[in-house]
Amino acid sequence: MTDVGGTVVVWRFLDGKAGHRNQVYGLTEALSRLTSCHLIDVVLSDGQKGLKSLWPGKQQHLRTLPAPSLIVGAGHSTHIPMLMARRRFGGRAVVLMKPSLPLSLFDQCYIPAADGIRERGNVVCTEGALNRIVPSDRLDSRKGLILIGGPSDHFDWSTTEVLDQVIEVIRKSPEVSWTLTTSRRTPADFVAQWRLRTVAGQLIPAEETGPQWLPEQLTSAGTVWVTADSVSMLFEALTAGGNVGLLELSNRKATRVTRGVESLVQKQRVQPFTQWKAKSFTGLLSQSLCESARCAEHLLGTLLYGSHRRAG
């Protein structure tokens, strides 16, 4: 594996989508906690994505960068640029999530198990998408966090049903200081109904939070409730290590997202509202879900000991 002075050079291919950046940063930051890394962001313009990366000169600017040890990316538009960069500049191509191209083209794939891909030589299945959250040792049982999503293709949204569950959680836990936040998908009527019903707790709309707000909240919240549609926030909460409750919504249809949420319930990593209402938090797995760290350790092992071989 190429390196410079013992430092692993990582090119992070970014397509401009926050969710994909979160995954790439999660893996590479976890890797940098294990070994010396030089992390370089390669932000793709529209003219450098997908097949457009094959046009002459589209990757000329990369010649000025240190040669990569790893090329890491997430999102379909990064796949061909990653492979072209590997061909031209060397390194190993590491893709996150199920790629749009054959798995054998990549040196390593980290893919959520809900995508239905079986593990093989260059494929590791993960519980959910990777993220940047680090397990916390500062969780406070007196602090609670409630994360509200909104309408999606996977669940039938009901503001009234979600709010009824939220109010019940707060009323049954008067000893907890509750903070709620919305997302960009949260309907305006949720905030309006919340204010009309005037329950305890502080509501901070998504537009009043910054990129570090949620990670900071998760470092201290001993209990986190998340609406079923907000899958990425479910896994972030699990990574932090507190008790995680599921604010329930009806499935719109069976999808990889709904299967992923159902898997968390079956594995007792999260507790649905109806179960919690009957018996509080019981039987949940206590260990946090550190998938970024696990994948970084796997990647480091293949890098150091040469056990990795390209599939094909």
Place 115 in a pLDDT band, splitting at 50, 70 and 90: confident
C-alpha to C-alpha distance for 217 and 179, rounded to whole angstroms: 9
Domains 8-130+291-305 and 140-279 equal at CATH topology level? yes
> What is the helix (H) or strand (E) element at residue 42, kind and residue range?
strand 37-43
C-alpha to C-alpha distance for 27 and 206, rounded to whole angstroms: 25
Q: Which residues contact 41 (CB under 8 A, 6 or more apart)?
A: 12, 14
Nearest to 195 by CA among 224, 222, 167, 165: 167
C-alpha to C-alpha distance for 219 and 208, rounded to whole angstroms: 19
Phi, psi of 41 (to 5 degrees): -85, 125
Mean pLDDT of 23-42: 96
Beta pairing partners, 96: 74, 110
CA angle, 288 then 301 then 239, to 5° = 15
**CB contact at 8 A, 95 and 79:** yes
Flag whether pLDDT at 2 surpasses 80.
Answer: no
**CB contact at 8 A, 205 and 233:** no
CATH class as words, domain 140-279: alpha beta
Domain boundaries, the chain: 8-130+291-305, 140-279
Provide the total of helices (H) and of strands (E) in the chain, helices listed first. 9, 14
- Percent of the chain with pLDDT strictly greater than 70: 89
Beta pairing partners, 224: 145, 244
Q: Which segments within 103-257 are labelled E, that is strand?
A: 108-112, 123-126, 140-147, 155-156, 177-181, 202-204, 221-227, 243-247, 250-251
Over residues 227-272, the pLDDT tens digits come to 999 999 999 999 999 999 999 999 998 888 898 899 999 999 999 9
Q: What pLDDT is stored for residue 114 in this prediction?
A: 86
Q: What pLDDT is stored for residue 288 in this prediction?
A: 66
Of 14-18, 143-147, 177-181, 252-256, minimum mean pLDDT range:
252-256
Residue 28's identity, in one-letter code, is: T
Q: Which residue has the tokens 């989508």?
A: 17
Fold held by 8-130+291-305? Rossmann fold (3.40.50)
Nearest to 65 by CA among 41, 32, 83, 82: 41
> What is the pTM assigned to this prediction?
0.88
Flag whether pLDDT at 309 surpasses 50.
Answer: no
Flag whether pLDDT at 179 surpasses 80.
Answer: yes
Q: What is each CA distance from 135 to 68, 120, 232, 264, in whole angstroms? A: 29, 28, 16, 18
Over residues 57-96, the pLDDT tens digits come to 667 788 999 999 999 999 999 999 999 999 999 999 999 9
CA 191 to the chain's CA centroid: 26
